[in-house]
A and B are shown apart, each in its own frame.
Chain A
Amino acid sequence: MFAQLLREDRIIIDLKSKSKEEVLQELLSVLNLKPEQEKLVLEQLKKREAIGSTGVGKGVAIPHTRSVVVDDVHLVVGVSKEGIDFQSLDGKPVHLLFLLIAPPQDLGARYLITLGEIANVARKVVSTKEYLNFGTPKELMEYLMKIYKEG
């Protein structure tokens, strides 16, 4: 699932945002949702963050939610070289973000499977932080795909 959802045009290698709310908006903007839809999804993402940060530690955040207003599962990857205060579990700034959005019901549980796959990829990339060194979305995509395929 991760491999199917990872797209070059949905990777931002130089996030400009400094705060959690800004970066959620910046990641969402890539999906080109209608303003009304973007607002609703953003509200849901903020609600999800309010119950507990999706900054899972070691510089990684996986903001995610489900919403009726999207008709498919969407993945956006972003890298912040400076780091973002995401109120992470370990208190450290976040450099790598995986935004995942899905409808409440998705065939084949793609959302949950993808979340699990993102977690596996994230676990492998946090030690080297190599993801900070890529100059283009394509390079980062190829790197993440390589990590993913290694299983």
Chain B
Amino acid sequence: MDPILEMLIALESLDAQLDDFESEDYLKSISIGQNTDENAVTKQIGKLRELRQEIVNSLPVAVYKRYEKLRGKYKRGVAPVINGICSNCFMEFPSALVSRPVKNKSLETCPNCGIYVYWTK
């Protein structure tokens, strides 16, 4: 897999997890054995942000800028292509691209919405 795509996938995951920390259901689920400890939650969010920054530092600046722009517009920077369809804008990819045996070996974007794509199959 393309190493930059791999980093973008990790970044997308961390950003989604950061969003989760704002949910009451999420906070309840991570505190079964005890009352929610605000300090512990704050620490976890801090560590997530550190992990995120590590990835950001390793990404080419142009790629990160585009990722942020995409997140601003679509609330995500990477989208899976499922059965040849971009899961962000639902555009069908040309069959020549879908039938390629090797995918995810280079960084690709959706020709329609411009989001970074990960081919699931």
Q: Hey, which bits of chain A sit against chain B, CB under 8 A? A: 36-37, 40, 43-44, 47-48, 50-52, 54, 56-58, 60, 62, 65-69, 71, 88-90, 103-105, 109, 111-113, 115-116, 118-119, 122-123, 126
Contact = CB atoms under 8 A, between A and B. Distances in A.
Interface residues of B, number: 37
The majority secondary structure among interface residues of chain B is helix
A97 B116 CA distance: 33
A118 B25 CA distance: 10
Given A104-B13, A119-B28, A112 B6 contact: no
A115 B25 contact: yes
B26 A123 contact: no
B92 interface: no
A47 B7 CA distance: 13
18 contacts: A50-B47, A52-B40, A52-B47, A56-B32, A56-B33, A57-B32, A58-B33, A62-B29, A65-B13, A67-B13, A68-B12, A68-B118, A103-B80, A105-B16, A112-B23, A115-B25, A119-B32, A126-B32
B43 interface: yes
